[in-house]
Structure 1
Amino acid sequence: MTLDDAADTIFPLPGSIPKAWDPEELRRCGAVETSLRASFDLEGEVHPVFCNWDMSGDGDAGEELMLRELHQPLLLASRLLEGAGLPWLSEFLIDDIFGASYPGLPPPALPDSHHGEVDKESDINSICQSRTPVVIVRHHRAAWATPRLVRTWLDATARELRTALPRCVLWQLDGVMFAAFGWVGYTCRHLLREGTGGVDSNVDHPNVIRDADAEARRRGVPSRFLTVLVIREYTARLCALRQLGQFGGEEYMLTAFMLAVTALHELGHAIYWKDLRAANRCMNEPYFGGDLEMELGDSFIASIFGDWTPVPIEHTHDEFGWRGTFERGLAWKQHLTWDFHRTRPRYRAHYSIPVK
């Protein structure tokens, strides 16, 4: 498709905002058929929630180079987090989402009559406390959510993200989980044992989670320790592109962008699973507001990018597995929500601008 062809009218999905393609704007952005290089020189500090990385590798030069490539993507993730991510995250902190009076909890499952009567208030409270929410209520949409009150929520969330949450999260680069499971990121509900080397059969096993939670309670720790894995293929590709003289090129920028998106995606899971009470029989997450899909990470990313989530156009497979390249560009997938949809569509449309 040429720039002139891109000006043709495109019929958007319900809930999206149509915008005519402006060829000159695309040229300035370096989106298609341009040789412009973008400056990749963000400055400032990486947000504390992204700073706790596991450095227990063998310390070789290659590992150091890959860790260096994390800096700019994490700066980008930090800016997106503080610039657009606080309202969504604050919904998990405004109220105690596991408290007995939280409106997003399911009705209490009282025992059947043949199992005995529940006639003590303490028994009922125990049953309520064992429940996990099925939906996260959106306080920001309430009529009584005044600007002053919203500012209070956002300030409290910003403090929580800079103080308490970083102590609960350990980040690691993982080189095996995509080949094994097809994941680009994963939030493990306990600290990985030293020498585990990534996702294996014991990761997130119910017994392992239960033992880790019991140990945290014995130590009086209110939060669960989490290990967040991000695929090593992203940083390896960034290193390779730099060595090929393509630093700042389109594929480099897309890879760095998707690394930042992956970190934010996993943070959307961590904000829920950090609580020791966030465990039920099926280990399900709640829906967020009017979402039609039970996926907190995608919901968080969609809240940042206007109800759209970026995805690779194509996974390139060869005998060595997927190498984490974005040679074909990336696509944008619309997030499904009751605000605009009533049923899950049979076919999903992805809108993309390829790298050329």
Structure 2
Amino acid sequence: MEVIGQIKSVSFSPEKNQINSGLPLPSEERFLIDGLLPEGIRRVEVKIHKTTKKINTAETYTWKAAYLTTPSVFEIYVAYPLRSSENYTLNFYYYNTTDTTEMAAVKDAIHTNLETYLKANFEVTKKEVKALVSQKAMIIQLNEIVNQGLSNYTHQLDQDFAGFSDVVKQKIEQVHGVKLKNAKFNLLKKNNASEGTDKAYYANQLIDQLVALTKAESDQYLRSNLLMLVDIREIDNYPTDKKPHYLPINIGYAGTYFGGGFNDLEYGTSAFAGISLPLGNKNFTKFLGNASISTGVFFSNMTDGNQTEISGPLIGRPSYIGLGYSIFRILRFNAGAVLTSSSVNSNLENVTLYPFVGFSAEFNIWLGLKQ
């Protein structure tokens, strides 16, 4: 594993089906995946997901060869960090360009399936032509025929098939609604047999026009050369780095509000120290990663406006619990409640909660726990 400009780079070998020389993948940071390109490969995709989850939850990253270049290596930037001490599955997909023979075979297969579907889903009777499925369902299924035919192909510009146009929809409605009893046929043919033949010919002509229209619209997408999937490599249940555990320690200074208004404000100040429990990992969620629940004690007792000593009920010092948020790398803003006590007389103790705000510096202490 190399470090390039503070971004780690790991190599993937398709021949060995090995990544990072068998070492765990970087965790909680962005990194690069590079590798040698087999001859003719123009596109590489990698899908990464937790092994315990399905592939449809995977993050997909793509590398594409630049126009008119013949690169020998690929490099993919993994933008979403992997979690520490998790196992992931990585799927690599390799695509090369299709030649005219392959494209012709793809077009023929799609054309055949479109024609077969349309002719099987229209019924011609003596009076009318009707669709066996709804127009909406027919459009959905026609789009699916094209997409299934292209399941192992992708567009060089990442342009998906947009689906058949409103022109095709209107043609389907036209064919479905045609009444053969109102159709005009060759007036020179007088017998009933020829009339039935004309009706069948007219109905089939309408269906053929619809078939030709779907072929023409699909060809608009298939006209450009597609990239064909030629190889898939999978690395299953692969581990990530195990990050050490840290305990955030806060040391700061705060003010506690006891009462009064702007002109007769009663407050006390003291340094404090405590620990924090982060609400999230800042590598995955910035806001919650910078926020934490904190608890600790003040170093000294305080006095209120009546010069009454304010201490704490548990350890003889005020203790606090609150929320903290990182403003800069180590500076945190804290706000919460202080648990205090003060003597009413020799036998009674007044336990009270007061609000406080303050700032602190935060330091991470490595716990050194076995994993």
Instruction: Tell whether the structures are fold-level matches, with TM greater than 0.5.
Output: no
Q: State the TM-score bracket (shorter-chain normalisation).
A: under 0.3
TM-score, length-scaled by structure 1: 0.19
Larger Rg: 2
Which protein has the bigger strand share? 2
Larger RCO: Structure 1 or Structure 2 (Cα < 8 Å, ≥ 6 residues apart)? 1
Which protein has the bigger helix share? 1
